[in-house]
Structure 1
């Protein structure tokens, strides 16, 4: 049995896939299995996956009919055999010592989770910042939850982390959803009591225009809100002192999808206006919980949400004029 199972959904990643796969098979830590879930790509991703599988016996390849990232990751979890689980996206890549650094800490410190830092690819073009390699310890569940909900030093996503497979029992990604990783990680963090964060940048993401966070607005973006509702429901019961932080995340989530919806003006003015009114209905339903949120950080964020809730047509026309004259 391998020590680490790496789970990777693959969909139309041909442009980046070879670099990603090379960064994995050339790891200094070699005791792993790489589980590729080919999710119905219509580019050369299936051929690339098959080619690498034939070269390396540690690679397992499974196929889905474009069921989405969450379904692919769940399939990977059911097929995994490693003691530890690692998620990496197929359009990203990692440093050659990524697995080694994470494994050494989780094995030596005997903690429930270990994480490192992530940067965009542009980071490599700047002067290399100093990394101390410092280990930051979290030794109670309360401290871990506070850190997670504030997204510091952990990201909401599943990458940059090494999980205990046994502790993931019963935890799965919400299928056919996007932004499903927020509740997935919340469930894991609510179960554990120790973690080490390493001051080490081992993971690099690509500014892929096809990624979930960069795509134009559609109704699936509202999954951001419904997935946060799951977290807020449980935070109310288990961590009421952190409800203002969870509510802040919800408020910022609303700001994020409002901006994406307004940007849709460039493509479809009528749809943008229709969706903005739908978001307003969600905002009104969440009014009570949003009143308990920590204050948003900028006037722009506060004003945008306030205007959508009270006068969505005004903000729509304001952005409409802005794009017209841009």
Structure 2
């Protein structure tokens, strides 16, 4: 198949437990005009071998084996050999509905959009129970938006940064030099806004088509939180610089998004981290205070929704520890030793 309509890029690293389910969901797509690029990023388990086995059974699968360089480098390697007119990223520990690609291609053909964004749910790795994406209630109800409108919803948190959240025309990447930043966590913050901002129109699909697995071993749940979130802060700042050239009126919304993001994660980490991570958590709280002081004016901070202001006051004054104790009395237990 020389020129498939869609290329699906799957970065793979030590996911032997989940990879078969992921690849089965991709090879059984109801839309067959696809190329599947598996990038084995130096796996030390059997993931690389599993990729090779699947490629022998399905000619649409191409496998790249490379030394471990991280998620961004794996996605970039996949992009470099993508032959499809459209690109979809799928994480190798997740899985998708069999009509994912067909639904998105039909939507793009019908609307003439450059990309299509869809809904997803979250799978708890420990229990296997699916739950609604927490932001789903804010997902825009329109069927099509401009790039600027999409950016506005991204900054409000109605749409997130996940690279697998959209099917996008490959030219958005190639024409605008969009690549994932290597050696950075939260790499999607650096890239998704560029895809949305360079698109003329983006379609929205109001169907749950992707199943996002939440694992303890993921970056979002790693112990080294402070450096990861410094990377994220850099991503917000870089996005602000781009917005100052594209849509200066959105710069303040980007700063608000940074403030809300910092406070929310500080709150979540304070509630859910155990006592052994107290030093790491204290370092992170210091980072949050430093970042807000550096990037957010008092006027802008006080314009945030009241829940974020309250959370920030509790975090800054260490009142959250008292709150955890009160919650525990009422049976609201977290994985924290108070």
Normalised TM-score (structure 2)? 0.82
2:57 is aligned to: 55
2:294 is aligned to: 285
Distance 2:141 2:280 in 1: 48
Distance 1:255 1:281 in 2: 12
1:13 is aligned to: 15
Contact 1:70–1:175, Cα closer than 8 Å, also in 2: yes
The change in CA–CA distance for 1:325 and 1:6 in structure 2 (over 3 A counts) is: closer
How big is each residue's C-alpha offset from its partner over 1:8-56, in whole Å with a ceiling of 9 and x where there is no partner?
Answer: 1111111111011000101111111111111122222112111111111
Whether 1:179 aligns to 2:181 is no
Whether 1:37 aligns to 2:39 is yes
1:255 is aligned to: 263
Q: Write out aligned runs for 1:121-136 (5 A).
A: 121=123, 136=142
The change in CA–CA distance for 1:137 and 1:315 in structure 2 (over 3 A counts) is: same
1:212 is aligned to: 219
Secondary structure (helix, strand or coil) at the match of 1:202 reads: strand
**Structure 1 unmatched runs, 5+:** 128-133
Deviation of residue 308 (structure 1)?
5.3
Q: Write out aligned runs for 1:164-313 (5 A).
A: 164-169=169-174, 170-216=177-223, 217-259=225-267, 262=270, 263-264=272-273, 266-288=275-297, 291-292=299-300, 295-299=303-307, 301-306=308-313
Distance 1:215 1:31 in 2: 37
Normalised TM-score (structure 1)? 0.85
The change in CA–CA distance for 1:274 and 1:119 in structure 2 (over 3 A counts) is: closer
1:74 is aligned to: 76
**Structure 2 unmatched runs, 5+:** 133-139, 327-334
Distance 1:37 1:252 in 2: 34
Distance 2:130 2:188 in 1: 29
Deviation of residue 93 (structure 1)?
0.7
Secondary structure (helix, strand or coil) at the match of 2:208 reads: strand
Contact 1:16–1:91, Cα closer than 8 Å, also in 2: yes
Distance 1:298 1:148 in 2: 20
Contact 2:263–2:288, Cα closer than 8 Å, also in 1: no
Aligned length: 314
Indicate the larger mover: 82-91 or 252-261.
252-261
Secondary structure (helix, strand or coil) at the match of 2:200 reads: coil
